[in-house]
Structure 1
């Protein structure tokens, strides 16, 4: 939408355009003052939630809000985490560079942009992403501690930057844990190869679409943190069946999925065009049953924010 038309629609005080106008007023004040301070986060979140409510009530079109977000981000917030999400450099918002930036708490150097990145990292969703790395490490610990001489073989599906793997190997050099990492994005694989180069004998990387290819091995632990909440139910079940099939008896499949409790959802979807398949605990159980998991083998856990759920299936 051209900026002039956007401005005309934003400042038309009729109907559902009012919440967008109110949000724009606040956003411009914060931009003029050099970005939000922590004491202003609550007001910004509350105003954004009101805008989200207007979209859900269909009194304003989501496309109009996205057009606004693209316009004001391009003019004032280039170089921020928000701009990265909207830019979809590799075709979607949560690409490996975004996940790496969240893991490492990257912020812009310019002070007026850095405040926006600090606000981004304060959100529940980025905190949940960081928590899932710790969750993976705890899984690796629980599966490897006290293990016999047999090594632990791990499949990491949609492995992204593989920083979680690198950190685990660095912190646990004595553990006999071997990783097969699969990702459909060649740039993610290249990045992961550099990060994990010192541990090449323990980390194998595959540039593949996991809906079409999985390494033909038996795994003790299969982990996928950030893929399933991009999949429709049918693809979810299809891939889960495939992961269960390559998991050894006594092993475990664990897949992450954003829950329907996500306080960051309006921020992600309206300002970052970052749309996921949010699911409930019951929905995840239903999909696991559909994939052929036994009812007593299923458990759903979560990280401390309660935003990321983890479906566990024991084999």
Structure 2
């Protein structure tokens, strides 16, 4: 889940599916010679072309269980139904049947309206900034102090549902992603002469918070780009970036700068393959020798997918390991030094990164 504030103008989202090592989040593999993981994504399941009565009855059973759980206030059972039973059933049908038939069917049940008492789910579904996954929504997953009042003003049931979702695998993965990039900033800051960092679709740039009040952060020259004026204003006021560019991603095609680290923490989850590869070709051309570009993406087997799409109306481009690696591999110049990949411990986000020689 991600701060993807520049994604929507750069490409149409689709509903789918180094020389210096990084501390591993979980599995850590070099790309060359590695065997592809067998992922439990949509391609592993046989589906009927049309949603049948038996399949629909299984979703009816799931809905009734969810209704009963929230009726008695058992949020943990409700959440487990969403993460396990619902996601398992989703994988057995076509993406079209899921979005066009099952989601509208399930939203007629009482559990759906009750689930919207959760301020996180409600904001995600409402999209007050006009696009999914805005920076405030990500702050809900960070449990940032700025969202405290919104949670406090929600109903007891809404608070309980929110507290469940922020401990779910996807929410943990988003916080781990923030930590991943905090470590990347620290890696650059501790080099002898510091370095230049380009943060693309940066949202509220919360990964800088841990370093912001330290002397190390002054060793970074950060260029920040986002299309959301409110996010840009917040970052300007915090003075976390040397330069704030409030434009969409297409504007970087005209940039002629060089950086030691380039990343977009939550952008690729909204881009088609071809658009992401074209973007990466440009970003790679902006790296200094020895520079690094990092590409994170939610995995096709992430357990939160069904609940995100049903309850939060939050559709990402989920990818397999090979698909994430391909976003860099297909854009890789011949002088690249290494291409590596890791996954987080939540089985939710994969990271590919490329270091130039």
TM range (shorter): 0.7 to 0.9
**Paired residues of 1:82 and 1:120 also in contact (CA < 8 A):** no
Is 1:48 aligned with 2:48? no
How far residue 229 of structure 1 moved from its aligned partner, in angstroms, is 1.7
Where do residues 142-221 of structure 1 align in structure 2 (5 Å cutoff)? 142-145=187-190, 147-148=191-192, 150-173=193-216, 175-194=218-237, 196=238, 199=239, 202-213=241-252, 215-221=255-261
> 3-state DSSP class of the match of 1:216?
coil
* 2:277 aligned partner: 237
1: distance between equivalents of 2:82 and 2:328?
A: 38
Q: Contact 2:66–2:81 at 8 Å: present in 1 too?
A: no
**Normalising to structure 1: TM-score of the pair?**
0.83
Q: Is the 8 A contact 1:252 1:313 kept in 2?
A: yes
So what's the TM-score if we normalise by structure 2? Answer: 0.74
Q: Does 1:111 align with 2:156?
A: yes
Seen in structure 2, the aligned counterparts of structure 1 residues 18 and 171 have a Cα distance that, compared at 3 Å, is: farther
1:310 Cα offset (Å):
1.4
2:65 equivalent among 26, 44, 50: 26
Structure 1 residue 308, shift from structure 2 partner = 1.3
Match of 1:5 in 2: none
Distance 1:69 1:35 in 2: 19
Identify unmatched segments of 5+ residues in structure 2. Answer: 1-51
Q: Name the residue aligned to 2:313.
A: 273
Counterpart selection for 1:15 from 54, 74, 78: 54
Q: 1:65 aligns with which of 72, 84, 102?
A: 102
**1:253 aligned residue:** 293
- Count of aligned residue pairs for this structure pair: 295
CA distance in 2, matches of 1:286, 1:151: 30
2:16 match: none
Task: Give unmatched runs, 5+ long, in structure 1.
Answer: 1-12
| Whole-angstrom CA distance in 2 between matches of 1:93 and 1:68 | 22
Measured in 1, the distance between the counterparts of 2:202 and 2:346 equals: 22
Q: Contact 2:284/2:293 (CA < 8 Å) preserved in 1?
A: yes
For 2:262, the equivalent position in structure 1 comes to: 222
Q: 1:7: which partner in 2?
A: none
Whether the 8 Å CA contact 1:66–1:271 is kept in 2: the answer is no
Question: Secondary structure of 2:221's match?
Answer: strand
- Displacement, 1:118? 1.4
Matched, 1:309 2:347: no
> By how many angstroms is 1:79 displaced?
4.5
Distance in 1 between residues matched to 2:261 and 2:220, nearest whole Å: 10
| Structure in which a larger fraction of residues adopt helix | 1
